[in-house]
Amino acid sequence: MAHPKGVLIERLQRAGLGRPEFRSERTGPDHQPTFLSDVLVDGQVLGTGQGGSKRESERRAAEEALTALEQGGDELPAEPAAAPPPARDEAFEGPWPVFESVLASTLQVADRRIPDHLRGEEARAAVLEFALSLYKDVLQDLGDVVEEDAEDDEG
């Protein structure tokens, strides 16, 4: 079976769209990192992937890009769109623990992934929404989120 990155490169070259660029971000603790990768062509995000290794996240991003190209007939999208992390059934409602370095990383990733055409309050809201979703996903993937029973203060 062909690797999705190789298939994507060949397909883009056949369509005359150039070579893809992969950008990856690492978050999480050293013992259990999470990687988020974007595949870009001409500055436009075609796919986003997440995984426990850079290779896995880039493979998933390439798979998403191939799907986008299949749906668009080998044409780049008209304007870049924010790529939210995969939706999940969230059993945990909070409170979410704060890991400052993970939170800072998710804010940086979210800031780079919102569409360029958003400005002001609309851009701020998009960054916060994306960062919160990403932060929750990273914590769930790392297993750091544990539901606690509500404590009775009456003693």
Domain residue spans in the chain?
4-142
pLDDT in tens, 29-42: 888 888 999 998 88
Rounded Cα–Cα distance for residues 5 and 13 (Å): 12
What is the topology classification, in CATH, of domain 4-142?
Double Stranded RNA Binding Domain (3.30.160)
pLDDT in tens, 100-147: 777 777 777 777 777 777 778 888 888 888 888 777 777 666 664 544
- For the whole model, what pTM was predicted? 0.52
Q: Which of 41-50, 57-66, 82-91, 105-114 has the highest mean pLDDT?
A: 57-66
Q: For residues 126 and 82, is the Cβ–Cβ distance under 8 A? A: yes
38 phi/psi in degrees, rounded to 5? -115, 145
